[in-house]
Structure 1
Amino acid sequence: MAFVAVAAVVVVVALKGDSGEKSDAAAQADRPQALITTGETWSKTTSRFTTTSTTVPSSPSSTVTSGFHRVTGPNGISAEVPSNWLVKAGTQATNIQVDNPESPGSLIRLGGSPSGPLPLLDSVASNETQNGGISQGYQRLRLERVSGNSNTVVWEFLYTKDGEQRHAFGRYWRTGGIDYIVYGSANTASWPTMKTVLDIVVRTTTM
């Protein structure tokens, strides 16, 4: 699978689809609900997106969250990110990166790439041994399916870079032949702030 190497890890969550009509509750459950953290509610947006640069389209309209704006990445992934963070092309064509200018090294990546042959959990787990960027000081905090859903995986871990311990979290989901990711990383001192921002990014992600 073409996941971004972490310092290029990518996050994913899955939608389950089946034929036939569904109740409103069932239809909502099939939306990217796995992106939502416990206790939070899904909010819809009817904004239409326009392109403001050749690499990072964004919406000029207001968003649900004050101080955030919406950006769109590869394969249609879209989310709200802090308005004052810097959006740029990612380390690979399959993702974009959003950097916190007030905390160097604090970043979020959004993206999507064609699904590989392995089950999603196995695909994400392969990063533990194949990603040399996180090998130093690596400590797994969790790597698991979300609520037993084989198409939604979360991976949280610590690693050391340039002598500094970092905290990282990725949420991965597979749908329609695409593996999507929302990934955030920061040094451990900055992680509480990053976690707050990342929760909003995850909650507002759509495809």
Structure 2
Amino acid sequence: MSCAKGWKRQTENTQVDYTPDNGEHFVRIAVDDSPDFDSPYTHLLDLEEQLGRLQDYRRVGLEENTFRDRPGALWDFTWTALPKDTEFPGPRRASEQAYLSRDGVEYVIYMSAPAADWATAKEQFDTILRSWRPPGAQ
């Protein structure tokens, strides 16, 4: 995935982040070629259990879906980021689309932004999902 103008790519292990402002707004692409879960939905349920400890966590939605004609799940949630945990404290929102590719690789596409900027971030996230192609795909 190439960066949009003004966005920078940051890589850590099997995750790649794209951000225009050092992480206040960002998209994360995670790749797992041997997933631990039977489905993207059960994976996101497990993540939710871990993240449920976040300040003011609230599930907006979590549902199984089909993405790129494959089993997937979409999770949308809000929380309040604390100053001790981030350079960007305050109300935040995120969406995460997970799916299993035909070759068994799990991809997770995640976007996070301040809650006040969510309308714009959601438009960007939807654009990313519409144009998403895994590495090596035509």
TM over 0.5: yes
The amino acid across from 1:84 in the alignment is: G
Offset at residue 111 of structure 1 (A): 2.3
How many pairs align?
124
The residue aligned with 1:112 is 31
Offset at residue 150 of structure 1 (A): 7.8
Mapped partners of 2:106, 2:41: distance in 1? 11
CA contact (8 A) 2:91 2:114 kept: yes
1:179 is matched with which residue: 79, 99, 106?
Answer: 106
The CA RMSD over aligned residues, in Å, is 2.1
CA contact (8 A) 1:128 1:135 kept: no
- The two structures have a TM-score, normalised by structure 2, of 0.79
The residue aligned with 2:74 is 154
The residue aligned with 1:194 is 121
Is 1:87 paired with 2:9?
A: yes
The residue aligned with 1:167 is 93
The residue aligned with 1:53 is none
CA contact (8 A) 1:172 1:181 kept: yes
Question: Larger Cα Rg: Structure 1 or Structure 2?
Answer: 1
Offset at residue 146 of structure 1 (A): 1.3
- 1:53-86: CA deviations, max 9, x gaps? xxxxxxxxxxxxxxxxx42xxxxxxxxx422111
Offset at residue 144 of structure 1 (A): 0.4
Q: Which of the two has greater strand per residue?
A: 2
- The higher relative CO (CA closer than 8 Å, separation ≥ 6) is in 1
Query: Match of 2:116, SS?
Result: coil
Query: Match of 2:132, SS?
Result: coil
- The two structures have a TM-score, normalised by structure 1, of 0.55
Aligned structure 1 segments of 4 or more residues deviating by more than 3 angstroms: none
> Where in structure 2 are there 5+ consecutive unaligned residues?
83-88
- Matches of residues 56-67 of structure 1 in structure 2 within 5 Å? none
The residue aligned with 1:78 is none
The amino acid across from 1:161 in the alignment is: A
> Where in structure 1 are there 5+ consecutive unaligned residues?
1-69, 72-80
